[in-house]
Copies of this chain bind each other. A is one copy, B any other.
């Protein structure tokens, strides 16, 4: 079950967000990001925020927004996080497909990911299965907690 929330409900997402940034391996915000800063980036307009529930518990979240203002606002951007204990159950795939439908309904004609960590091969496979292709690669743009500087990928698909 996936439903939209507003910024005042970000506390539902925060335990997952905090667990994901704690790893320092897949996501730009640093492990010491505060709840209020995370809320601003993930849940305040123009971002829209969704939560996915598994067995009655919030286990994942995604956010959807225009990737650029004005003459670039036909391209959506999205981000996805999954609780560590809920990995391997298809949640990222389900949220990605849901976000593609939501983006189409909102009038976007494409979706772009700006910052896919190149060593996060599990996620990259999911995005490829959801129709995304790599359109760019930026060297050493992410300071991976265990691996040091690694590349990031830019991924894209039309809707």
Are A71 and B138 in contact, CB atoms less than 8 angstroms apart?
Answer: no
Interface pair A68/B115, CB less than 8 Å apart: yes
A114 within 8 A of partner (CB): yes
Verify B69–A28 contact, CB threshold 8 A: yes
Nearest-Cβ distance from residue A139 to partner chain B, whole angstroms: 7
Given A114-B114, A154-B154, are A68 and B138 neighbors across the interface (CB < 8 Å)?
no
Is A140 positioned at the interface, with any CB of B under 8 Å from its CB? yes
A136-159: contact bitstring with B at CB < 8 Å (1 yes, 0 no)?
111111111100000010101010
In Å, the complex CA distance between A109 and B45 comes to 31
Q: B110 contacts A143, CB within 8 Å?
A: no
Number of interface residues of A (CB under 8 A): 36
Q: Is the CB of A72 within 8 A of B142?
A: yes
Copies in the complex: 2
- Taking a contact as CB atoms under 8 Å apart, the answer to whether A28 and B143 are in contact is no
CB-CB under 8 A from A152, the residues of chain B are 72
Bound: A114/B156 CA distance, A: 14
A72:B141 contact, CB within 8 angstroms: yes
Residues of B within 8 A of A29 (CB): 69-71
Nearest residue, chain B, Cβ from A68: B28
A61 to B: closest C-beta gap in Å: 18
Segment 66-89 of A: residues with Cβ below 8 Å from B: 67-72, 74-75
Q: Which of B33, B75, B143 contacts A141 (CB 8 A)?
A: B75
A98-119 vs B, CB cutoff 8 Å, 1 = contact: the mask equals: 0000000000001010110000
